[in-house]
Structure 1
Amino acid sequence: MTARTLFHALALPLIAAMALAGPLRATAEAGDFIGVVELFTSQGCSSCPPADAELAKMADKGNVLALSYHVDYWNYLGWVDTLASKASTERQYGYAHTLKRKNVYTPQAVVNGRDHANGADPAAVNALINKLSAIDEGLNVTVDAAYDNDGLTISIGEGEGKADIVVVYFDDSNTVDITRGENAGSTITYRHSVRDIETVGMWNGTAKSLTLPASVLSAKAGTGCAILLQVVGRDGSPGAILGAAMITSDETG
């Protein structure tokens, strides 16, 4: 019997300050998340602001693990995206390979690593989340995450198949004044913008636990992190997400 995926969002000091922090007063809040939505967007894309706003709503609502990946291929339009990275662009092209697409586009929302929709169309994105859950392509492996002074402990439950344990570091919020390009004159607040991605382990269907030292986390850009249990092809292309967890920053004083 497969377990319903459980996400743990923990309040903790900023990851950037973890190494200097004293004893933590972290409050655990458990809840069921219904899917992972990865939005591929750009500050230089005039079609993207509505999708960015929809992702922010998902992040605030809290029932979806929402991540924003800024791609760099629109930078030639006159504005260099301040949050863009080659890694985000490569991840999107990897999904194109997995989903058997010949091209990429923005704003593209990839749901559970299994299918995609226009990120500016919330009805289409929500329908996709519900469809994947109905056909058992939702988040079916339990992933828990907890942080203390020793570091980040990740616990993966039992399940079927093999997958990588991927940590995605993100900023909770970035507000950007855009002065050139298609969105010139706009001030846009982006939520959960990805700053770094790394694979920290492998899973083969048996329960597993690992700990990342606090020193590793403090060296990463971003104020929060998501843990994705994700099938990855031999060529490195990302695929189905089997489970996930998220650690968010919230200074407790």
Structure 2
Amino acid sequence: MAILKVKNSPLAQAFLMGVALCLPLPAAAEEFVTPKGVVELFTSQGCRSCPPADRAFETMVRQGDVVALSYHVDYWNYLGWADTLAKSENTKRQYAYAKAFGRSGVYTPQAVVNGIDHLKGTDAGEINSRMEKLSAGGRGLVVPVKANRQNDQLSISIGKGTGKAEVVVVYFRQRQTVEMMKGENVGQKLDYWHSVTDLQTVGMWDGSPLDITLPAKVMGSDDSDGCAILLQSVDEEGNPAAIMGAAMLVPKSAEL
């Protein structure tokens, strides 16, 4: 049986009991990335406005200093092409953000920055500008988060700070190429980067330093080959809110 080790947080220990997290590659094939911000793109293969945003998102990935996560949603599937990467959980996350932002609906392509700001996701320069403004205003990634994988263990280290937040692990696929055979983007063949495959809340942080050790399991080549750790607060209704810290592990074999 896998053993979970949690320091300084009984509540986190309760969350982690029985949880088995997965990482795809040996430790030597992964590298730790220290980010300047988190960008979550909500996109769809069935949305005619999304390809420019997907290309801008690739620019963000290639920068190497951003935790960039792409969530394919399913509400445009009725237009004639079912997004091959879409998940209902991604749609639910976007609607939860909409509630947190006080919006009545959702849109694509939407880029959410640090969990607290949003804009149309087609302009990488403007997205970078938003991250810089948030950081300058003290609303950036203010809590240090580190992660590494050694053999069969994933270790997460979160520093000291103020407030409370969930520790969230987001799994993604580094790169996939899809040709749309129907729908509004018929005939286009696009590369999709950091497409989210799963999201798990694995613990709670109360402002005190927190170390979490999780069992790692090798995943198949058709699933995830990278992961991000988000230290994310929630609002009074449980909707996702400010991301206070983040880290990312990506395969070195996929370096850009």
Query: Which TM bucket (shorter chain)?
Result: 0.7 to 0.9
State the one-letter code of the partner of 1:242.
M
Q: Which residue of 2 aligns with 1:55?
A: 57
Kindly indicate whether the alpha-carbon contact (under 8 Å) linking 1:95 and 1:239 is maintained by their aligned counterparts in 2.
yes
Structure 1 residues 96-152: Cα deviation after superposition (integer angstroms, max 9, x where no partner): 011111111000000000110110022331221121111100000000000011311
CA separation of 1:182 and 1:26: change in aligned 2, threshold 3 A: closer
Structure 1 portions without partners, runs of 5+: 1-13
How many pairs are equivalent?
Answer: 232
Identity across matched positions, percent: 53
What pairs with 1:9-24 in structure 2 (closer than 5 Å)?
15-16=23-24, 18=25, 24=27
Aligned partner of residue 28 in structure 2, secondary structure: coil
Distance 2:245 2:73 in 1: 25
CA separation of 1:148 and 1:239: change in aligned 2, threshold 3 A: same
Kindly indicate whether the alpha-carbon contact (under 8 Å) linking 1:15 and 1:249 is maintained by their aligned counterparts in 2.
no
Q: Which residue of 2 aligns with 1:103?
A: 105
Match for residue 205 of structure 1 among 204, 207, 213: 207
Aligned partner of residue 71 in structure 2, secondary structure: strand
Q: Give the superposition deviation at 1:26.
A: 4.8
Q: Which residue of 2 aligns with 1:11?
A: none
What pairs with 1:64-103 in structure 2 (closer than 5 Å)?
64-103=66-105
Kindly indicate whether the alpha-carbon contact (under 8 Å) linking 1:118 and 1:124 is maintained by their aligned counterparts in 2.
no
State the one-letter code of the partner of 1:15.
L
State the one-letter code of the partner of 1:197.
L
Distance 2:245 2:188 in 1: 36
What pairs with 1:98-247 in structure 2 (closer than 5 Å)?
98-215=100-217, 218=219, 221-247=223-249
Structure 1 residues 204-247: Cα deviation after superposition (integer angstroms, max 9, x where no partner): 000000111013x6489411000000002353311100000001
Aligned partner of residue 184 in structure 2, secondary structure: coil
Which segment drifts farther, 154-163 or 128-137? 128-137
State the one-letter code of the partner of 2:122.
A
Aligned partner of residue 15 in structure 1, secondary structure: coil
Q: Which residue of 1 aligns with 2:36?
A: 34
Q: Which residue of 2 aligns with 1:3?
A: none
Structure 2 portions without partners, runs of 5+: 1-21
Q: Which residue of 2 aligns with 1:4?
A: none
- The TM-score normalised by the length of structure 1 is 0.86
Distance 1:241 1:234 in 2: 15
State the one-letter code of the partner of 1:25.
A
- The TM-score normalised by the length of structure 2 is 0.85
Q: Give the superposition deviation at 1:15.
A: 3.4
Q: Give the superposition deviation at 1:70.
A: 0.2
Q: Aligned Cα RMSD in Å?
A: 2.0
CA separation of 1:25 and 1:121: change in aligned 2, threshold 3 A: closer
Aligned partner of residue 104 in structure 1, secondary structure: coil
Kindly indicate whether the alpha-carbon contact (under 8 Å) linking 2:171 and 2:197 is maintained by their aligned counterparts in 1.
yes
Distance 2:131 2:47 in 1: 25
State the one-letter code of the partner of 2:203.
G
Kindly indicate whether the alpha-carbon contact (under 8 Å) linking 1:175 and 1:187 is maintained by their aligned counterparts in 2.
yes
